[in-house]
Amino acid sequence: MECNQPKPLIILIGPMGAGKTTIGKLLAQQLGFTFYDSDQEIERVSGASISWIFEKEGEVGFRQRETRVLDKLTQLDHIVLATGGGAVTIAENHHFLKRGIIIYLRAEVDIQYERTCRDRNRPLLQIDNPKQKLTELFCKRDPIYQQLANITIVTGHSSPKKMVHDILLQLQDANITV
Contact 62, 53 (CB under 8 A): yes
Residue whose Cβ sits closest to ligand ATP: 19
Output the smallest distance, CB 130 to ligand ATP, in A.
12
- The answer on whether 156 is annotated among ligand-binding residues is no
**C-beta of 157 vs 175, nearer to ligand ATP:** 157
Regarding 85 and contact with ligand SKM (CB under 6 A), the answer is yes
Q: Which of 75, 107, 73 is nearest to 87 (CA)?
A: 73
Give whichever of 86 and 101 is closer to ligand ATP, judged by the CB atom.
86
Amino acid at 7: K
What is the residue type of 85?
G
Residue range at the interface with ligand ATP (CB under 6 A); choices 19-27, 64-72, 130-138, 166-174:
19-27
Minimum distance from residue 24 beta carbon to Mg ion (Å) = 8
Q: Does 61 bind ligand SKM (CB under 6 A)?
A: no
User: If binding is defined by CB under 6 A, does position 160 make contact with ligand ATP?
Assistant: yes
Q: Given candidates 10, 22, 26, 39, which one binds ligand SKM under the rule CB under 6 A? A: 39
141 binds ligand ATP, rule: CB under 6 A: no
Residues in the chain: 178
Query: How far apart, in whole angstroms, are the C-alpha atoms of residue 68 and residue 119?
Result: 26
* Footprint on this chain of ligand SKM (rule: CB under 6 A): 16, 39, 50, 84-86, 122-124
* Footprint on this chain of ligand ATP (rule: CB under 6 A): 14, 16-22, 39, 82, 84-85, 115, 122, 155, 158-160, 163
